[in-house]
Amino acid sequence: MTVQSEELREEVRRRYAESAQAVSTRVTETSCCDSSPVDLTCGQYRPEEIAAIPDAAAAASLGCGNPIAVAELREGEVVLDLGSGGGIDVLLSAARVGRTGFAFGLDMTDEMLELARRNAAEAGVDNVEFLRGYIEDIPLPDSSVDVVISNCVINLSVDKPAVFAEIHRVLKPGGRIGITDIVACDSLSAADRALRGDWVGCIAGALSRSEYENGLVGAGFADVSLTTTHEVADGLDSMIIRATRPQHSSS
């Protein structure tokens, strides 16, 4: 990893550590969806979903959508949430997959992991585990997960090909992804994206639509689709990303 990449990763870690601390002290935070006070990832969660989790889990949600709404989780499945933050999507996933299923959350920020574990304990949810690590190097075995979800996190990675390769590796053959992320239109250069926002704000590091599609296909995914949900900046949209690991693919 380059010095610049390490500095960007540390900037992201520091920003989300501050977010976790702010939630713990009830300081209003902002979502990467916009510059207004956090609105539960732009209002993408249903009231009954928010009511089912601790307030701190909802308050720590800094994403751009609701991956639970598109992942089509089923009873007994194993789910992995990349960049799990305060645990909102892990807790909601755990409810969907039931007692015979399991939900992992992966985050690199100690403060977010501590907050997520407190939220799980408060909610009385025990079919979850929060792991410390990087989404470019997932600490789970090959072919161990049915579904990978993520909410406005992959754009923050400094090595997105590694993220896609790792997602493919941990998914079981036939497994799938249900991701929400910020995606740029193909006409915007990397310099254009940087002018519209910084890396930590989920803008400068966003892939273009073609880059996202090609990255997933290059990692071995099939049935790749990107669907726009709403605009977050000029030429940048929040999108739902779906793809599957083919049944007969190798790690």
Q: What is the pLDDT of residues 190-231, one digit of tens each?
A: 888 777 776 766 777 889 999 999 999 999 999 999 999 988
Q: pLDDT tens across 112-161, in order? A: 999 999 999 999 999 999 999 999 999 999 999 999 999 989 998 989 99
Q: pLDDT tens across 9-28, in order? A: 777 767 766 766 666 665 44
Distance CA 21, CA 115 (A): 9
CATH architecture of 3-244: 3-Layer(aba) Sandwich (3.40)
Runs of H (alpha helix) within the chain: 3-24, 40-43, 47-51, 55-59, 68-71, 88-97, 110-123, 160-170, 190-196, 209-218
Q: pLDDT tens across 44-100, in order? A: 777 888 888 888 777 766 677 788 888 889 999 999 999 998 999 999 999 999 999
Q: Over 60: is that where the pLDDT of 188 sits? A: yes
pTM of the model: 0.85
Q: Which residue from 135, 131, 137, 110 is spatially nearest to 205, judged by alpha carbons?
A: 135
Domain ranges of the chain: 3-244
Q: pLDDT tens across 231-249, in order? A: 888 889 999 999 999 998 7
